[in-house]
């Protein structure tokens, strides 16, 4: 086996660990929390199916690639809950270290390619990255909404928090942003999201 194939296989084996990173959203059947690997698969296919709703014309396969790679850093950092302000503050530095380690397992040219995809997603530097972000933000809303707001209720989430996250959809997919706002309004109506913020 060449050194190059050996490095590639080491990376492939290492990323198996993303299957053990727990997110805060439940599977739609409520059986368990979902993990970041299956989530990455789900949003990649979502991007393929919803590409026509992107704000600008996008290469759907590039958006898929961004989404397949976007959560890999969680292998070292875990899933940062978007409503945990302390964890969110230290997230960029922790994730940059993780990216250097993980992509560094690959041969240099591929390390640069995958790190580039990750940076593109993080920086929302392209129409594909903005659309991929939109899809990645809409997905947990779908999961929450269709499990009776379960994770929202468990974490005592307020509609303004969700609406601030949802605003990140507007840039990449305005039509999906409208739909997200409808979901939030309906969730509030059904008591799954707090309407008053109780002074927080």
Nearer residue to a second copy within complex by CB, 71 or 194: 71
Q: Which residues of 16-30 are buried (b: 16+ CB within 10 A; e: fewer)?
A: eebeebebbbbeeee
Of positions 75, 98, 99, 106, contacts a second copy by CB under 8 A: 106
Among 33-41, 94-102, 124-132, 156-164, the segment contacting a second copy (CB under 8 A): 33-41
Nearer residue to a second copy within complex by CB, 105 or 194: 105
* Residue 156 is a binding residue for a second copy (CB under 8 A): no
Of positions 23, 54, 55, 62, contacts a second copy by CB under 8 A: 62
Please name the residue that has the structure tokens 């995809």: 117
- Burial of 126 (C-beta count, 10 Å sphere; 0-12/13-18/19+): middle
* Residue 37 is a binding residue for a second copy (CB under 8 A): yes
* Residue 40 is a binding residue for a second copy (CB under 8 A): yes
Among 48-56, 119-127, 150-158, 160-168, the segment contacting a second copy (CB under 8 A): 48-56
Least distance to a second copy, CB of residue 50, Å: 6
Nearer residue to a second copy within complex by CB, 118 or 194: 118
Q: Measured between alpha carbons, how far is 64 from 70 in angstroms, rounded to an integer?
A: 10
- Sequence-distant (6+) residues with CB within 8 A of 111 are 103, 104, 105
127-145 vs 60-69: helix crossing angle, rounded to 10: 60
Q: Which residues of 91-121 are buried (b: 16+ CB within 10 A; e: fewer)?
A: eeebbeebbeebbebbbeeebeebbebbebb
* Residue 194 is a binding residue for a second copy (CB under 8 A): no
Cα separation values, 180 from 46, 102, 132, 138, Å: 15, 33, 15, 7
Of positions 87, 171, 175, 185, contacts a second copy by CB under 8 A: 175
Residue pair 143/26 in contact (Cβ under 8 Å)? The answer is yes
* Residue 61 is a binding residue for a second copy (CB under 8 A): yes
Residues that bind a second copy (CB under 8 A): 1, 5, 8-9, 11-13, 15-20, 27-29, 31, 34-35, 37-38, 40-42, 44-46, 48-50, 53, 61-62, 64-65, 68-69, 106, 110, 142-143, 146, 175, 179, 182
């Amino acid at each position: 086996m060449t050194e190059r194939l050996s490095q590639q296989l080491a990376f492939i084996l290492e990323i198996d660990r993303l299957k053990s990173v727990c997110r805060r959203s439940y599977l739609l059947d409520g059986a368990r929390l979902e993990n970041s690997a299956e989530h990455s698969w789900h949003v990649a296919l979502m991007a393929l199916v919803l590409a026509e709703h992107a704000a600008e014309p996008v290469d759907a396969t590039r958006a898929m690639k961004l989404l397949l790679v976007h959560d890999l850093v969680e292998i070292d950092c875990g899933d940062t809950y978007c409503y945990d302000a302390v964890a969110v503050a230290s997230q960029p530095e922790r994730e940059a270290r993780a990216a250097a380690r993980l992509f560094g397992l690959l041969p240099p040219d591929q390390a640069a390619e995958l790190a580039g995809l990750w940076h593109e997603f993080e920086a929302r530097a392209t129409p594909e990255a903005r659309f991929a972000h939109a899809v990645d933000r809409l997905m947990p809303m779908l999961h929450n909404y269709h499990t009776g707001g379960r994770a929202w209720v468990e974490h005592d989430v307020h509609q303004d928090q969700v609406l601030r996250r949802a605003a990140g959809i507007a840039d990449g997919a305005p039509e999906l942003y409208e739909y997200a706002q409808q979901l939030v309004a309906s969730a509030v109506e059904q008591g799954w999201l707090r309407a008053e913020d109780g002074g927080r």
